[in-house]
Amino acid sequence: MKPKPMWQALAGIALLVVGGLWTFVGARDYSEKRVNAVAGACRVDMTIVQKREAPAQANAGAVVLFHGLAANKYIMRYLARSFAELGLTVYVPDFPGHGRTSGPFTPASAEDCGRSLLRGLSARGMIVPDRTILAGHSMGGAIALRLAPEFRPAGVIAFSPAPMQPTHGVTPEKLLFQTTPHLLPNTLITAGQFEPEGLAANAEDLVMGNPDPTIQFHSLRGQSHVSVLFSPGAARMAQAWAARALNIPNPARVPSLLYLGGGLFGFVGILLLSGPFLRELTTPVAEEAPAGSEVPKTLQFLAELLLASLAAVFLLHYFIPLRVLRLFEGDYLASFFLLAGAMLVLLHARLAHNKFAVKTGVVLSAAAGALILHLLVTGWFDLTVTSAWLTVQRWARFPLFFVAAFVFLYALELLLGPVLEPRKRLGIDYLAILLAWLALAFGTFVLHSGQILVVLLMPYFGLFFVFMRLGARLVRARTASPTAAAVFGAILLAGFCLVLFPVS
């Protein structure tokens, strides 16, 4: 290994070690017990969080904390620990199709399981309604508000609840729930300053005009829809609200965010390791020959990709061919990749045929590299920040999603051509991905496809594609094989989507 890659690898290992230490230090004050809870027809994976140094007392109270759409119980860890600082026992379940709870997921099934869980915990004496806070974020916030009139808790805290009425630009197909609940006393509803306008306005409307002074709306300054989950300010507000509703002391102490820093440090460490790792894994070949006349010019390529993407979105308005995947909105995205990619490949069938040379060793090394990176990243995040390790249900969906992703990425590799001007090629690559996502946004906002996750998750997909396409470019440059580069990217893309989208 040359000196520069060696120092890069050593820096990556150092960051992993630091990240692991920070994660351990951030977790040592809390007990997190994982249980399988059977609630009616639902079997949910649940974590029970308590403060170690001051075990929760039976009469102190409890919190049932619900996560949002395409999230999981582990992403709620900071808020759960914040409530545990009050001496409360915090129950954090994975809804069906999320985290380690089996599907199928629908918004209605999540609400039903939440209801069954509350009844089961209450019947076992683990929670008492008038000593319990219902809390949740996004979809979970809406479910907490909807279940409160049945359960009659001491208080409700809804962080950025999902809209439940078609107002402020939120159209009916974007709603997870169609009716608004009656709000109980001691209900706090929040929204981040940088929330999508329709979401924040809908949240504020729930409180507007209500004469009860214990029902309040607060805008969280400087927060977005997701950052609220890691906000000390939001945690303090929730602690104060819960302490007042339960009439218990508030130590005004929030958990450390070291575990989050540790998770991010380790992730950067893995990224630093990935470059030297891929260079060692892939055998360099002679430089790929310049593109011939069969490869379209840049403007032609981008125009063709945009038209293929829009055509795919129009077709998906009437038929989703990969519905068999049974991923909540993930089947739509996989179908988009398949249709848009297939159109581009068919448009350049001759080029595709000439370039589709499967050198077994090269393709297998690229596949092995992608799979190892996927397992490293998902394993690391699963240990530190969020549930990312794929369950059997999700792995069963991997082959079909891989095929769809491969078709799209193979088309990109064909039309981008060899890696002769790396920076220029990468810029065109990113622009092509952006155009594809703009077509998906067109389907959501103009054709009313209802695919809200495709838009809400756009920042995360953007970050993913930045790193994934860098890796694919390295594989293409080392192997001169568009097939190997597409296989590498498709494995990572399929794995990433299977982590995010709920099993339906």
- Report the C-alpha gap between 113 and 182 in whole angstroms: 20
Say what angle helices 360-384 and 458-479 make with each other, to 10 degrees: 150
**Does 277 or 343 have the greater pLDDT score?**
343
Adjacency order of strands within the sheet including 42-51: 30-39, 42-51, 89-93, 62-66, 132-137, 155-159, 187-192, 215-220
- Model pTM above 0.95: no
**Which part of the chain has CATH 3.40.50.1820?**
30-254
Comparing CA positions, the residue from 43, 179, 194 lying closest to residue 120 is 43
Which of 29-38, 153-162, 279-288 shows the lowest mean pLDDT across its residues? 279-288
Give the pLDDT score at 55.
52
Kind and range of the H or E element at 371?
A: helix 360-384
Instruction: Kindly indicate the confidence band of residue 287, based on its pLDDT and cuts at 50, 70 and 90.
Output: low
- Mean pLDDT for 244-263 is 92
For residue 58, pLDDT over 60 is answered with no
Give the pLDDT score at 9.
84
433: left (phi over 0), alpha (psi -120 to 50) or beta: alpha
**Does 23 or 400 have the greater pLDDT score?**
400
For residue 384, pLDDT over 80 is answered with yes
Q: How many angstroms from the chain centroid is the CA of residue 130?
A: 34
For residue 233, pLDDT over 90 is answered with yes
Q: Kindly state the percentage of the chain with pLDDT values over 70.
A: 96
CATH class of 30-254: alpha beta
- Report the C-alpha gap between 16 and 10 in whole angstroms: 10
CA atoms within a 13 Å half-sphere pointing along the CA-CB vector of 423: 0
Residue appearing with tokens 């102190």: 60
When the pLDDT of each residue in the chain is averaged and rounded to a whole number, the result is 92
Give the pLDDT score at 73.
96
Give the pLDDT score at 282.
78
CA atoms within a 13 Å half-sphere pointing along the CA-CB vector of 77: 24
